[in-house]
Structure 1
Amino acid sequence: MPTAPDPVLVERIAATTGLSPAEAARVVEDVVAFHAEPVEEYVRRRHARLKTYGARNDEIFARIAEELDGRVVAAPPLTERQLRRIIYG
Structure 2
Amino acid sequence: MKKILTTPIKAEDLQDIRVGDVIYLTGTLVTCRDVCHRRLIELKTSDPLRSQRQKRFSTLAPSCAKTATKWEMVSVRPDNQYAYGKF
TM-score range, shorter chain: under 0.3
Structure 1 or 2: larger helix share?
A: 1
Bigger strand fraction: 2
TM-score (norm 2): 0.26
**Greater Rg over alpha carbons, structure:** 1
TM-score by length of 1: 0.25
